[in-house]
A and B are shown apart, each in its own frame.
Chain A
């Protein structure tokens, strides 16, 4: 038995060696395939992005002039600008005066970033404006004057108009509005895109 086992040692070792070679080849091939597969996925994703980018730019090429003009308009208006509360307070006063509101009080909340998924950020400052108006026409004028005077984009969130106890006294309407002043921040602004 021992002798027979001894005779089987060499073929057994050879068989193990052959199995190891085969196993090694499989593992090597699989590992190489995994690596290439990863690279392929990455390149495919890069290709899709490049082709998408090209398709977009091909589409945009026809209206690039209009877009640049729009962007510059936002810059001029102050939508694409840093927050300047001093300017905003002055703008509020101008709107109030133009509309004929009196006893106006306002409170600014801390600025918040609404969308930070991309490079361009949308920032919002919530302002609560309270005041008194002689009649509904004053309030309507205020609603029109505010976006005109303010540099950032004015987005009304809530507005309340309450009739006072003495409507003919001249201060018969109490008003309260919550307004979001929205600005855009573009870190690439001023650097040429080409």
Chain B
């Protein structure tokens, strides 16, 4: 994890902080002079290993609300750059923040143009960082962090003032709909710094003054109450309870002690001499705002560092996920091996019991498996086999009861179909005592024979075929041709019986 450093630039000097898990500690302090800059440049070499966030807390910070036509992409970027250049002489440290769109037909966009107007004083410090290729995430102002801080303090209002005493003086930020629209730092006289009463008086005076100014330029503030959150120096809250200004009727004051505020936002420890800039620095370390002031050149090393961290972290994350998945897989496999061992034991046990049982057997003529197979196959053969004898006896009994019928042909076979095994007899018989022309008698004898056959257990009779067709659905025709020597009519029947396999 890259070390997080915060560079705080204010009229009082430049302070380098380290931040880790909510603890802010001072690493080095540099005075605003050539000597201080030189010392800082020397110190920059050690900053390469971490990431540096720069917070500029200076008086020379300008804000201007403008409107631009509805454009997107590169056109918008070019237009904003042009507007910034028109507005500010030096745009080296500048930014444009969208404030939303006008509810008009043209849908013009409201933007806050902001810049540090004394970039020339700050640039050498940033160039020292750039020269040493220190990864700088960006240059920020308390204004762009103010909403984040107010929200963390649970004081977020649609229209509000955030006021507090910084190392360089009194900082006031006007927030509207979650965006800073104005911010300024009023430096205190050197003799007032450290004097609680003077600071309190300054907070009171400057808040009143700013609100009057805002009321002049923002007419909507005229008739409505505005919240003002004042973060007081440690131990000064009680003193400020009598806080009363000319505008106090419209300003709804809420006071919060700096230590209480620090606790609420999760800042565990800060240097004792740090003002509420410590709160802003903590917010910056926790989460960078989407808007910052630095040009791309200063942030180049940060981009590379971000890629380096991203690649390494991504690779490590993928590796960890894969190792975890592989671990889970190994665990499951290990459990599976346990099951295999258990199965092996059961096989050994079954084999041992098998051996124990077979030793009690008499001498076998073959292997136990083949003994079983031979008997099973023989049983299957026996079950599927039938001789024609039973069917012959059954048919003989029927013929005994129909003396007019003389058996000509008995055709027996075993049929294997989807229903199972059947023994089927095609029976051909003649009626010697019946005239060929006596169709009604032939039919009656045939039906009688079929009826008697059906009385036998399991016998089914189908396909009774007479010498002529009586089926209404077929054309009637005479029976088979006969010779002079064979004048008796013939009938055919199919008799079947299921073999119980």
Chain A positions 24-74 with a Cβ under 8 Å from a chain B Cβ: 25-26, 28-30, 32-33, 36-37, 39-40, 43-44, 46-47, 50-51, 53-54, 56-58, 60-61, 64-65, 67-68, 70-72, 74
The answer to whether A7 and B304 touch across the interface, beta carbons within 8 angstroms, is yes
Q: How far is the CA of A181 from the CA of B336 in the complex (A)?
A: 53
Instruction: Let me know if B441 is at the binding interface, CB within 8 A.
Output: no
- Taking A8-B304, A119-B369 as contacts, is the C-beta distance between A155 and B381 under 8 angstroms? yes
Residues of chain A lying within 8 A (CB to CB) of residue B311: 8, 11-12, 14-15
B388: Cβ under 8 A from any A Cβ: yes
Inside 8 A of B78's CB, which chain A residues have their CB?
Answer: none
Residue A25 contacts which of B322, B333, B339, B377 (CB distance < 8 angstroms)?
Answer: B322
Q: Which of B309, B322, B369 has the most CB of A within 10 A?
A: B322
Assuming the contacts A11-B312, A19-B319, asked whether A162 and B414 have C-beta atoms less than 8 A apart, the reply is: no
A18: B residues at CB distance < 8 A: 312, 315-316, 318-319
User: Which chain A residues numbered 146 to 170 have a C-beta less than 8 Å away from chain B?
Assistant: 147, 153, 155-163
Q: Interface residues of B toward A: which range?
A: 35 or more
Which of the segments A89-97, A101-109, A186-194 contacts the partner chain? Answer: A186-194
Q: Which of B347, B372, B408 makes the CB contact (< 8 A) with A56?
A: B372
State whether the Cβ of B447 lies closer than 8 Å to any Cβ in chain A: no
For B303, B315, B346, the residue with the greatest tally of chain A CB atoms inside 10 Å of its CB is B315
B357 touching A57 by the CB < 8 A rule?
A: yes
By the criterion of a CB under 8 Å from any partner CB, how many residues of chain A are at the interface? Answer: 82
Inter-subunit contact A15/B373 (CB<8 Å): no
The yes or no answer to A184 lying at the interface (CB within 8 A) is: yes
Q: Could you say which of B92-100, B167-175, B348-356 contacts chain A?
A: B348-356
A44-B343, A193-B371 known; A144 vs B413 contact (CB < 8 Å): no
Contact A122 B381 (CB under 8 A): yes
Cα separation A28 to B304 with both chains bound (whole Å): 34
CA distance A188 to B367 in the complex (A): 6
The residue from A40, A136, A143, A184 contacting B387, defined by CB atoms under 8 A apart: A143
Residues on A with beta carbons closer than 8 Å to the beta carbon of B309: 11
Between A and B, how many residue pairs show CB distances below 8 Å? 240
Per-position 1/0 for B292-322, Cβ under 8 A of A: 0000000010011001110110111011111
Find out whether the CB atom of B413 lies under 8 angstroms from the CB atom of A182. Answer: no
Cβ–Cβ contact A184 & B377, under 8 A: yes
Taking the complex as formed, is B326 at the interface, i.e. its CB lies under 8 A from any CB of chain A?
Answer: yes
The CA of A4 and the CA of B411, in the complex, are separated in Å by 101
Q: Which residue of A lies closest to B376 (CB)?
A: A120
Q: What residue in chain A is nearest B391 (Cβ atoms)?
A: A159
Q: How far is the CA of A53 from the CA of B312 in the complex (A)?
A: 59
Q: How far is the CB of B30 from chain A (nearest CB, A)?
A: 28
In contact, A14 and B312 (Cβ under 8 angstroms): yes
- Nearest residue, chain B, Cβ from A153: B381
A71 x B366 contact (CB < 8 A): yes
Is B362 located at the chain interface by the 8 A CB criterion? yes
User: Which listed residue (B326, B329, B366, B411) contacts A186, Cβ 8 A?
Assistant: B366
Contact A54 B353 (CB under 8 A): yes
| Cβ of B242 under 8 Å from chain A | no
If A32-B330, A50-B354, A74-B374 touch, whether A159 touches B412 (CB-CB below 8 Å) is: yes
Q: A33 to B333, Cβ gap below 8 A?
A: yes
Task: Judge if B368 is at the interface, Cβ distance under 8 Å.
Answer: yes
CB distance from B125 to the nearest CB of A (A): 23
Interface residues in B247-266 by Cβ distance below 8 A to A read: none
Q: Which residues of A contact B366 (CB under 8 A)?
A: 71, 186, 188-191, 193
Known: A40-B340, A159-B412. Is A51-B368 also a contact (CB below 8 A)?
no
In the A-B complex, the 8 residue pairs with the closest CB atoms: A22-B322, A15-B315, A193-B364, A18-B315, A18-B319, A25-B326, A29-B326, A29-B329
10 additional A-B pairs beyond A19-B322, A161-B392, beta carbons within 8 Å, are: A18-B316, A70-B375, A118-B373, A156-B388, A161-B407, A161-B409, A182-B381, A187-B370, A192-B363, A194-B359
17 CB-based A-B contacts, threshold 8 Å = A4-B303, A8-B308, A11-B309, A11-B315, A14-B311, A15-B311, A16-B315, A25-B326, A51-B350, A56-B372, A68-B365, A143-B388, A143-B389, A153-B382, A162-B410, A163-B407, A193-B370
| A contacts, CB < 8 Å to B | 4, 7-8, 11-12, 14-19, 21-23, 25-26, 28-30, 32-33, 36-37, 39-40, 43-44, 46-47, 50-51, 53-54, 56-58, 60-61, 64-65, 67-68, 70-72, 74-75, 79-80, 115, 118-120, 122, 136, 139-140, 143-144, 147, 153, 155-163, 177, 182, 184, 186-194
